[in-house]
Amino acid sequence: MIDQVVSVLRETAETVVLPRFRNLADGEIVEKSPGDLVTVADREAEVVLSARLAALLPGSLVVGEEAVAADPSVLARMSDDGPVWVIDPIDGTGNFAAGREPFGMMVALMRGGVPVLAVIYEPVPDMVTVAESGSGSYIDGARMVLDHTPLGPDELRGAVMTKYLPPQVREQVEARLPKLSEAIPGLRCAAREYPELLRQTRHFAMFWRAKPWDHAPGTLVIREAGGVVKHFDGADYDPVHPREGLVVCRDDAVFGLVRSVLLA
């Protein structure tokens, strides 16, 4: 099924998303909430993806980012015991609306509230990141396995998204960033941050917002490669009951370092 999901994403990108890239009229970009953009491409892509993915798995439910924005009660489908597709039609919408990369399309299949299949597709580089429960994580067909060589605090390299952090937490984190070997600016696109972690260009990434469409797909690809996705307090991320504050790490040891350096 994973190949079918990739085909659905790729075809939707070709017919709906890419024709609008750097080709959006002013009225095709709106603010659905302060600082949170949506475009006609997001909405149209979600309609197409919802129909096609539901057809792949008759009886499955769909939770899409834009559907939840229009009707928050849709989010209750996440707790269904049956198959549920979680869709982010365009992740990195702010980048997409501005005519720049990165942006991507993300899908996770949940069963019993647990992600069992994930696809992250970046249309412009035509890059595919996939994972299936128990089968590992892959980028463009190459298996990704995270390194667990021990690190010291001064060797840590990570992406830290501070924009949505509460003021007190942001002040503390920003004051401690010099303790890292390298603090990488956030890309405003989880669809790129997760593959970058798999490629080990960084050891961790910190987020505040933890919406399931942003993190359910990435959570599976990271866990299948040997990494962890945890809340600031150390609890494992659960897409059905998301809480704010996430650290995505190559392993538990790195999480402990990040917590001690930036959050303690």
- Residue positions in the annotated binding site for Mg(2+)? 65, 88, 90-91, 214
Dihedral over alpha carbons 49, 52, 57, 61 (to 10 degrees)? 50
Q: How far is the CA of 27 from the CAs of 11, 37, 179, in angstroms?
A: 25, 12, 44
Strand, helix or coil at 210?
A: coil
- The annotated binding site is made up of 65, 88, 90-91, 214
Peptide bond into 19 cis (omega under 30): no
Residue pair 89/46 in contact (Cβ under 8 Å)? The answer is: yes
Residue in the structure block whose two tokens are 């198959």: 83
Gap between the Cα atoms of 58 and 56, Å rounded: 6
Gap between the Cα atoms of 88 and 145, Å rounded: 25
**Residues contacting 190, CB < 8 A, separation 6+:** 91, 92, 106, 207, 214, 215, 218
Helix residue ranges per DSSP H, 84-211 = 93-97, 167-176, 190-198
Nearest to 91 by CA among 184, 1, 194: 194
